[in-house]
A = this chain, B = another copy of it.
Amino acid sequence: MEWLKKRILEEGVVLSEQVLNLDAVLNHQVDPELMMEVGRQFAERFSAEPITKVITIESSGIPPAMATAYALGVPLIFARRKKTLGLEGESWCERVPSFTKGIVTDIVVSRKFLNENDNVLIIDDIIANGDAARGLIRIIEKSGAELAGLGVVVEKTFQAGARTIRELGIRVESLVGIADLSGGTICWSD
């Protein structure tokens, strides 16, 4: 994934020992061509699984998840972060803290779009503490769907999120891993 590391080095901004700002490539501006390549990578890694849907959480997860769903030829679901008018009725809901927003939010998925006949792949942009991903995993369990795994563009390996999910027996594929941000520079984990 040297092409992805190169873009992150060029455009990422280390804000603290915990926070890497990727607004220029993932969280506020995205290069659609780069996203499509990200999607092809995830589709390849999970090509042996009988995936029926890709799921992510709004908002930054949507570009890589849509690219992956396109590459796999399946629908994309984006979990909403709070109930809106259109989502009243039958939904699964999990309350999760948000690392970057510093607040607690509800993530919501309509029962209409996820059930025991589905085999789902979670895609997210960055995994840090993994609270949102674990919330989504609980929703998938409740729905009775199979979980093929979790694909993340950037894994911060110095935070516990991905490890705690692997410890649940879930396959986690990250395209790049960041081991350390101290000293103001990015130290890759591989």
Interface residue ranges, A against B (CB under 8 Å): 15, 19, 21-24, 27-33, 35-36, 58-59, 62-63, 66-67, 69-70, 73, 75-78, 80, 82, 84-87, 100-102, 109-110, 112-113
Residue of B21, B27, B30 near A75 (CB, 8 A) is: B30
Tell me, in angstroms, the Cα distance from A70 to B35 when the chains sit together.
Answer: 9
Residue of B15, B36, B59, B75 near A78 (CB, 8 A) is: B59
- A-side interface mostly: mixed
- Contact call B28/A80, Cβ cutoff below 8 A: yes
Known: A85-B102, A87-B23, A100-B86. A77 touches B28 (CB 8 A): yes
Tell me, in angstroms, the Cα distance from A36 to B86 when the chains sit together.
Answer: 24
- Contact call A113/B78, Cβ cutoff below 8 A: no
